[in-house]
Amino acid sequence: MSQPRPHVEDPSGDGAIAILDFGSQYSQLIARRVREAQVYCELLAHDTPAEEVLALKPRGFILSGGPNSVYDRGAPGLPDYVLQSGLPVLGICYGMQLLAHNLGGRVAPAQRREYGPALLQVTDLESPLFAGLPFALPVWMSHGDRIEELPPGFKVIAQTDNSPIAATSHLGRRLYGLQFHPEVIHTPHGTEIIRNFLYRVCNVPPTWTPARFVSQSVDAIREQVGDGQVLCALSGGVDSAVTATLVHRAVHDQLTCIFVDHGMLRLGEPQQVIRTFEQEQGMRLAAVHAVEEYLHALADVGDPEEKRRIIGEKFVRIFEREAQRLGQFDFLAQGTIYPDVIESAGSGRPGAQRIKTHHNVGGLPDDMTMELVEPLRFLFKDEVRKVGHELGLPDEIVYRQPFPGPGLAVRILGEITWERLETLRAADAIFRQELMAAGLLRQRGGQGTAQSFAVLLPVRSVGVMGDSRTYANVVALRAVTTDDFMTADWARLPYDLLARASNRIVNEVPGVNRVVYDVSSKPPATIEWE
């Protein structure tokens, strides 16, 4: 299969920010904060070729943190083009130390490492980086080294008790360094600091908006596709839904979507997909009922990785079969989003591997000749939702909670049968109904639980119903709150809500006599059980 063409310029047209990744666990958060400021940016490995970075026509650079010391053997260095460009630079943690080290300053191990909260005192009240902010700011530190001697022309603009040089600048060259992490939620004013760098230092306007993205994407798809035919795998998730809608808006009946109903979606979702995209959006949709095929392939399989492998392989075979039946296609539209791209590329992290291939369509064969159309390739999930809203998709599609590709198969621990699927589907629907009624399912505006679902356990327990002894299934309920899904905390749901959900599940779902609630956070647990 032909690979997507490399991205070579700033799609916003008003100037991008190039973020160079030196291996920080927070690098994606920097990019998200810049995008939230409606400024286009890309996260690039620190060793990305200069011509690729400069093709973005950046208006400034941000250097991420990282696990190294600038004196480590093999530690990532600062590319020459960054300072040669004369553009504004913001170095964060390791990025700040790298900037100082390259310009003649001295970096050394701190007498006391600093991990966690600190109080920042702004010492330069004229610095554009802290414009409009209080003089004392809570910040989040995570470093072992610190700057002991500033390079020529730099001055201290903020400090903490343990870091006399917690922020520095060279105003004439528009170079700035922060020892703390403005991108994390533990730095409450971090977003304003980043915006000050973007707006006041780089002079980039906030024009990266959903409406502008839709307009530019439609034009780009038309140019790429021409009079060709496009095929799209539609799952009902927000990524594939927004992809299909963008392509349909661009080329209309040149698009054909394939929806494979494998029997492992939530209650009512297959009907919702067909209604939304075929009837309401007017798309050409081939709906494939393949439940029996999947159940036969999954018979007696309990291992979660084997389930995923079987489901992914079965999808590929069905998709190939339907594609051949429907005719000849020139392009494959795929809902790849920016985190998929970053993970696949490794993004400069030491030891990173390419771990996702054709993420959204289950690993399509390499001998397919279709060219990829990936309009969401440089969007984060929250941006995809905003674009979906701009396109007029219904909230139940746009704000659909994350749902694993194998569906309910990974929320049934043990063997998959139609009876067990129906049991879990009914229990999950009741839990979600109660959360919705209580306003605790995250919708537009970001309030409520970020992910919530039921899990069917591979154990039975003794119970009593009426005068009869029962021996039936156990259902676990799971609800979490999170901003980025990298970490998550279990949701403190009201006891009355849990009581109602438990009572309804036991009374309305045959074969269940016990309900438990998962109070594990991530880490150490994962959000999903398998």
Q: Which residues are catalytic?
A: 93, 181, 183
Distance CA 337, CA 243 (A): 10
The total of other beta-carbon atoms located within 10 Å of residue 86's CB is 9
**CA torsion 116→117→118→124, rounded to 10°?**
100
Measured CA to CA, the distance from residue 362 to residue 346 in angstroms comes to 20
For residues 261 and 264, give the distance between their C-alpha atoms in angstroms, rounded to a whole number.
8
- CA–CA distance, 405 with 423 (Å, rounded to integer): 20
Counting Cβ atoms within 10 Å, is residue 398 exposed (0-12), middle (13-18) or buried (19+)?
A: buried
Helix 27-36 vs helix 338-345: crossing angle, to nearest 10: 150
Give the relative orientation of helices 418-437 and 495-508 as an angle to the nearest 10 degrees: 150
Q: Answer yes or no: are the C-beta atoms of 277 and 383 closer than 8 Å.
A: no
- Expressed in angstroms, the distance from the first to the final Cα of the chain is 31
Query: Where do we find the tokens 């998200």?
Result: 32
The 3 state secondary structure assigned to 251-280 is HHHHEEEEEEECCCCCCCHHHHHHHHHHHH
C-alpha 253/C-alpha 232 separation (Å) is 12
Q: Are strands 371-373 and 331-333 parallel, antiparallel or unpaired?
A: parallel
Amino acid making up residue 50: A
Pairing outcome for strands 58-63 and 41-45: unpaired
Distance separating alpha carbons of residues 53 and 31, to the nearest angstrom: 15
Helical residues (DSSP H) of 327-408, grouped into ranges: 338-345, 381-390, 395-398
Based on DSSP, count helices (H) and strands (E) in the chain, helices before strands: 15, 18
Q: Residues 35, 208: contact at Cβ < 8 Å?
A: yes
C-beta separation of 247 from 387 below 8 A:
no
